Chains A and B, each alone.
Chain A
Amino acid sequence: MADATQERPKTAGGRLVRAILKDPRLRMSNLREGVIDDDIAQAAREWDNDNKPALEFILSSALTLAIRKRFPSDVDIRQVTTYIRELSQRKFPGESVDLHAAEVQIRIALGELYLANEVDIGALTEVDADFLLELIRDLRLSESELDALIAQAEQLAQNATAAGLVLLMAYRLNTVLPVSSASNPKATVRSRSKRSGSVKRGIISSNRPEAEWKTHHHSCALAQSLRAG
């Protein structure tokens, strides 16, 4: 029987990913504008103080795991196409989700690595990233299942094996979450209290552009290696 402590996120990055996934209302625009709940703000501060900027890898690994949980590797691709179309209509009515990009992410996670070249991360939007978060949320995991998924994602991210298979999230998070005071005048992040609904201010991030860029380049290097493969 597995040790229960191994089933929980161990890193600040993992705890931040959990907080993001647990808030069903959270959109990328909230992260960009800094309108986030206390739990996420707190997790973000802890992550920011951590020296392991593996957040994108944890999230992309979690997404890969979630996709594999939902679909068997030999799934009829038509089912994937239908699922993302319906999820898009259900969760993002009237919004322009790039369904091709979403299908590509899922099929890469299921093993069609040659499609990595199809991911034009520069052309993807916040709503495309929101859609990928929704893919994980739509599994409707219990607290313990979500913890286990993230713990597993942390391990994968540490090994940097599965990380980078899903590149979109990495790119978007690099862009919106770490609000550097050097590059963004809105370094102070507003935090929306769950209970009172009031808005308060807290610092989410500081001076880590170098680490962020290293992570971004790591993602790009992984993309390159996938392309070469």
Chain B
Amino acid sequence: MKAADVWSNAHTYRLTESALAEVARLAFREDEDIRVIANWVYRVRRQLNVPQGHMIFESVVRRALGEEQSLGKASLNDIGLCQVVAFVMLTRALGIKASQLDAILASAEAAADRAQT
């Protein structure tokens, strides 16, 4: 299966979107200064050695916090990957334990199911 096919599956896409929204709300306030989010994105990019793509990455996090966001000319694949990376990095930063992670993913899955129907 190609990477792009993964994200064209609406349920998978929504699952990652919902999972990110769950942890983003734990990590940032809804009205968080965008520069704080940008600073976190910048540090993650440096850590992962990703020289570009700041705006897509930042936008998926802002969108997860409920802001209306253009995703520019980003591909579904780029958006999906950014969602997963942001989810993983936020989960690590928050020190979320396995049991909490199960609950977050179950909640995200339920949200994706609701969106599907």
| CA gap between A92 and B38 in the complex, in Å | 28
| Known contacts A78-B67, A81-B69, A114-B42: A100-B34 contact under CB 8 Å | no
Is the pair A98, B34 in contact by a Cβ cutoff of 8 Å? no
Q: Chain B residues near A117 (CB, 8 Å)?
A: 51-52, 54
| Known contacts A100-B55, A103-B55, A115-B54: A76-B72 contact under CB 8 Å | no
Q: Chain A residues near B33 (CB, 8 Å)?
A: 76-77
Contact flags (1/0) for A68-95 with B, using CB distance below 8 Å?
Answer: 0000000011100100010000000000
| CA gap between A98 and B34 in the complex, in Å | 20
CB-contacts of A112-139 with B (<8 A): 112, 114-115, 117-118, 120, 123
Is the pair A118, B52 in contact by a Cβ cutoff of 8 Å? yes
Does A99 belong to the interface (CB within 8 Å)? yes
Q: Can you pick out 26 interface pairs between chain A and chain B where the beta carbons lie within 8 Å of each other? A: A76-B33, A76-B34, A77-B33, A77-B35, A77-B38, A78-B67, A81-B67, A85-B68, A85-B70, A100-B55, A100-B56, A100-B59, A100-B70, A100-B72, A101-B72, A103-B55, A104-B55, A112-B38, A114-B42, A114-B54, A115-B54, A115-B55, A117-B51, A118-B52, A118-B54, A118-B55
B interface list, Cβ under 8 A from A:
33-35, 38, 42, 51-52, 54-56, 59, 67-70, 72-73
16 further A-B pairs in the complex, CB-CB below 8 A; given A98-B73, A114-B42, A123-B73 = A77-B33, A77-B34, A81-B67, A85-B68, A99-B70, A99-B72, A100-B55, A100-B59, A100-B70, A100-B72, A100-B73, A104-B55, A115-B55, A118-B52, A118-B55, A120-B52
